[in-house]
Amino acid sequence: MEASSLNRLIEELKRLPGIGTKTAQRLAFFLMKVPKERALGLARAIEEVKEKVRFCRRCGNLSENDLCGICSDSRRDAALICVVQEAMDVLAIDRMGEYRGVFHVLHGALSPIDNIGPDELNLRPLMERLEETEVREVILATNPTIEGEATAMYLARLIHAKRGIKVSRIAHGIPMGGHLEYADEVTLSKALEGRREIQ
């Protein structure tokens, strides 16, 4: 009896990305041992996030309001849009503290194998933004994988077809494929190729 609720917790934890059976067991036993308040604090935090956090209407970023903190910040340069694959990437770029423009989150990248085509991406709102607001430049910061590259190419064409907005692709410090195993030569030769405006 007592074990079945514990088992359920373990099974739930195992569904989280990057967590296998061993880790799930360790976490579950840890939660069992800590004071009730702390464990419930975690449960409540999860609940709150699920109730409050949604996607920003404009850019697709995570937000507690209709518009996210970045979209509603008037000091941000709304004419400069950085397009990323995931909301996580917004955090990563913003943490550097140098970027003053706004974002657009696609929630994925083109990948026929995974059945992800243009319709599965958060694209239409981006095209609407380009129609409705004055946009000077779009920076394509999709991942340096073949899927991210394909997505960047696709977007570049789409945007160019619409109007003369400058489109650029970020130069990658990490090698294509995102795997660090390919040593410096690859990075170097990629970096030299990078920094290009997409025509």
Partner 1 sequence: MEIRRLSLQHFRNIRSCIVVPGRGINILFGDNGQGKTNLLEAIYFLSHLGTFRPTAQKDLVRQGMQWGRVEGTIEDQGVPKDILLTIGEKEKGVRVNGKPVSRGVDYYGTFDVTLFSPETLNLVRGAPEGRRRFLDRAIYSLDRRYLYDLKEYRKILQQRNVLLRLIREGRVPRRELTVWNEQLVRTGSRILQRRYRFLKEYVEYCTGIFRQLVHKEGELRILYHATLVRKGEAMTGGLSEIQEKFMAGIAAVVDREIQGGTTRIGPHLDDLSFEVAHGPAKSFASQGESRMLALALTLSEARFHSEKKGAPPVLLLDDVASELDPVHRQRLSRFLCRMGQVFLTTTDKDLDEKMEVSSTRFLVERGEITLVKNGEKL
Burial (Cβ within 10 Å: 0-12, 13-18, ≥19) of residue 165: middle
If we measure between CA atoms, which residue out of 123, 127, 128, 91 comes closest to residue 107?
A: 123
Amino acid type, 74: S
By CB under 8 A, name the one of 121, 154, 159, 170 that touches partner 1.
154
Residue 146 interaction partner, one of Zn ion, partner 1, none, beta carbon < 5-8 Å per kind: partner 1
By CB under 8 A, name the one of 112, 134, 164, 199 that touches partner 1.
112
CA end-to-end span of the chain: 65
Q: CB under 5 A: which stretch of 15-23, 28-36, 67-75, 93-101 binds Zn ion?
A: 67-75
Is the CB of residue 198 less than 8 Å from the CB of residue 156?
yes
Round to whole Å and give the CA distance between 61 and 66: 11
Residues 36 to 75: which contact partner 1 by CB under 8 A? none
Rg value, the chain, Cα: 21
By CB under 5 A, the count of residues binding Zn ion is: 6
**By the rule CB under 8 A, 189 interacts with partner 1:** yes
Residue 61 interaction partner, one of Zn ion, partner 1, none, beta carbon < 5-8 Å per kind: Zn ion
Round to whole Å and give the CA distance between 103 and 92: 12
Residues of this chain that bind partner 1 (CB under 8 A): 110-113, 117-118, 146-147, 149-151, 153-154, 157, 175-177, 181-183, 185-186, 189
Residues of this chain that bind Zn ion (CB under 5 A): 56, 58-59, 61, 68, 71
